[in-house]
C-alpha cells in the first residue's frame, strides 16, 4: 500500500510538473489563430475572467483558455484587465496578451480638426477619415442643447466644436465625438477667460464670434492680439467691421460662393455681411483655437483700425485711413501694376 501511494504521489508530481511545463511553453509561444491580417476583440465592461478568456480563444488570439487564466494568476493582473476594443495584427504570446489588457492598450483612431474649420468642413474631414458620413456629423451638430449653459441663443454648434486631435474607438458615433469636442471647449473657456471677456462687455457667444473672425484673418500667433484689437477698436466707435471672412461665410451659407469675393458679393443681404450690418455677426463663422480665444478676450493695447495683407501670410497694421491706403497701394496694388 505504501509503495502504491508513493507511485501515485510520483505520478501526481510528474503530471503537475508536466502541466506546469506545458503551460509555461504555451504561454511563451507566439500564436495567431485568425486568418485575416488583423483581429479585434471587444471586452465588455464587467466581463469576468472566463468570459474574457473565451472571447480571446474564439477570436484566435489565445490558443487555450486555461493557459490564459494561469498567466493572469501568475502575473497578478486579474483586477487590472480593462474593458475596450483591442487590435491584434501579429502572433503574440499569452503573456503579451495579458499585459496588453492590463495596460488598457485599447485600439483608438485619431482624427484632427485644424483651427478655423466650419461645421461643413469638419463633416468632410469626418467622412474622409472613414468614421462615418458627413451627413451624420452635420446632424449631430444640430444638438444646440449641448452648449445651452454657454450660449442660450445657439441654434447649432457652429464655432463651438473645439479644434484638436481626438482619439476615438472604431465604433464611436458622431454624437459622441461632438460631445467630446464641446467638452474640450468648456475646458478652454475657463472662468478666468470668461471673466476677462465679460469685463470687455462680451458674452460667451460674442467672445467665440470675435475669436472665430481672428482665426480666419491670420494664422500667425503674434498677429492674433493685433487683429483682435483692430476689431475691438472698431466696435468701440461703432465702425463697420468690414470683414471679408464674414462675407465668405454668408456666401457659403447661401450656396453662392464661387471661390473669390467679387465687389457685388459685398452687397449680399445677410446678417453676416459686416460691410452692410454693423457690429459683430450673429454668431461664430468657424471654430477658433485656444490662441484666438485668448486674443479675443485680451486684445493688444494698440490704436490700430486697419490692416492689409503683405501677401506672405503676414499683415501690416495702421491707425489712420491715409496710412491704410498707402499700405494697400504698397502691398496690394503696386505689385499688380503692369509695366
- Write down all domains in the chain, each with its CATH number in brackets: 23-103 (3.30.1490.480), 109-188 (no CATH), 195-304 (no CATH)
Query: Rg for the chain (alpha carbons), in Å?
Result: 31
- Is 309 in contact with 217 (CB distance < 8 Å)? no
- Of 280, 284, 270, which Cα lies nearest the Cα of 243? 280
Dist. CA 92–CA 89, nearest whole Å? 9
Q: pLDDT tens-digit profile of 264-274?
A: 778 889 999 99
Q: pLDDT tens-digit profile of 124-180?
A: 999 999 999 999 999 999 999 999 999 998 999 999 999 999 999 988 999 999 999
Q: Taking 90 as the threshold, does the pLDDT of residue 13 lie above it?
A: no
- Is 245 in contact with 213 (CB distance < 8 Å)? yes
SS3 content of the chain, % helix, strand, coil (to 5): 50, 10, 40
Dist. CA 245–CA 272, nearest whole Å? 9
Beta bridge partners of 309: 315
- Write the CB contacts of 284 (distance below 8 Å, at least 6 apart in sequence): 158, 159, 160, 205, 208, 209, 211, 212
- Write the CB contacts of 279 (distance below 8 Å, at least 6 apart in sequence): 235, 238, 241
Dist. CA 101–CA 90, nearest whole Å? 16
Q: pLDDT tens-digit profile of 35-73?
A: 989 999 999 999 999 999 999 999 999 999 988 998 898
Q: Give pLDDT, residue 122.
A: 97
Count other Cβ atoms within 10 Å, centred on residue 120. Answer: 14
Q: Give pLDDT, residue 74.
A: 84
What percent of the chain clears pLDDT 70, i.e. is strictly above it?
A: 90
- 253 pLDDT band (50/70/90 cuts)? confident
- Of 2, 14, 10, 83, which Cα lies nearest the Cα of 43? 83
Q: Taking 90 as the threshold, does the pLDDT of residue 333 lie above it?
A: no
- Write the CB contacts of 315 (distance below 8 Å, at least 6 apart in sequence): 217, 218, 223, 226, 227, 307, 308, 309
**In terms of C-beta density within 10 A (0-12 exposed, 13-18 middle, 19 or more buried), how is residue 221 classed?**
exposed
pLDDT greater at residue 253 or residue 57: 57
Q: Give pLDDT, residue 177.
A: 97
Amino acid at each position: 500500500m505504501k509503495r502504491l501511494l508513493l507511485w501515485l504521489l510520483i505520478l501526481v508530481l510528474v503530471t503537475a510538473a508536466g502541466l506546469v511545463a506545458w503551460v509555461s511553453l504555451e504561454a511563451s509561444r507566439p500564436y495567431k489563430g485568425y486568418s485575416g491580417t488583423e483581429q479585434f476583440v471587444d471586452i465588455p465592461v464587467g466581463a469576468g475572467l472566463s468570459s474574457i478568456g473565451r472571447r480571446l480563444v474564439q477570436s484566435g488570439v489565445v490558443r487555450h483558455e486555461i493557459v490564459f487564466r494561469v498567466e493572469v494568476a501568475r502575473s497578478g493582473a486579474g483586477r487590472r484587465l480593462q474593458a475596450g476594443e483591442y487590435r491584434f495584427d501579429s502572433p503574440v504570446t499569452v503573456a503579451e496578451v495579458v499585459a496588453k489588457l492590463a495596460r488598457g492598450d485599447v485600439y483608438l483612431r485619431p482624427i484632427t480638426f485644424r483651427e478655423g474649420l466650419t461645421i461643413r468642413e469638419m463633416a468632410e474631414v469626418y467622412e474622409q477619415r472613414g468614421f462615418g458620413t458627413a451627413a451624420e456629423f452635420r446632424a449631430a451638430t444640430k444638438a444646440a442643447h449641448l452648449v445651452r449653459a454657454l450660449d442660450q441663443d445657439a441654434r447649432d454648434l457652429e464655432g463651438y466644436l473645439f479644434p484638436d486631435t481626438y482619439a476615438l474607438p472604431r465604433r464611436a458615433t458622431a454624437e459622441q465625438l461632438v460631445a467630446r469636442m464641446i467638452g474640450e471647449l468648456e475646458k478652454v473657456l475657463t472662468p478666468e477667460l470668461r471673466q476677462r471677456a465679460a469685463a470687455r462687455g462680451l458674452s460667451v457667444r460674442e467672445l467665440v464670434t470675435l475669436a472665430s473672425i481672428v482665426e480666419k484673418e491670420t494664422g500667425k500667433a503674434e498677429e492674433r492680439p493685433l487683429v483682435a484689437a483692430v476689431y475691438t477698436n472698431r466696435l468701440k466707435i461703432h465702425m463697420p467691421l468690414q470683414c471679408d471672412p464674414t462675407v465668405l461665410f454668408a456666401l457659403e451659407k447661401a450656396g453662392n460662393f464661387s471661390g473669390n469675393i467679387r465687389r457685388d458679393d459685398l452687397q449680399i443681404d445677410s446678417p453676416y455681411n459686416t460691410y452692410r450690418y454693423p457690429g459683430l455677426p450673429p454668431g461664430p463663422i468657424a471654430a477658433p483655437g485656444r490662441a484666438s480665444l485668448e486674443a479675443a478676450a485680451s486684445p493688444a493695447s494698440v490704436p490700430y483700425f486697419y490692416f492689409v495683407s503683405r501677401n506672405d501670410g503676414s499683415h501690416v497694421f495702421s491707425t489712420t485711413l491715409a496710412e491704410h491706403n498707402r499700405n494697400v497701394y504698397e502691398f496690394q496694388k503696386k505689385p499688380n501694376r503692369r509695366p
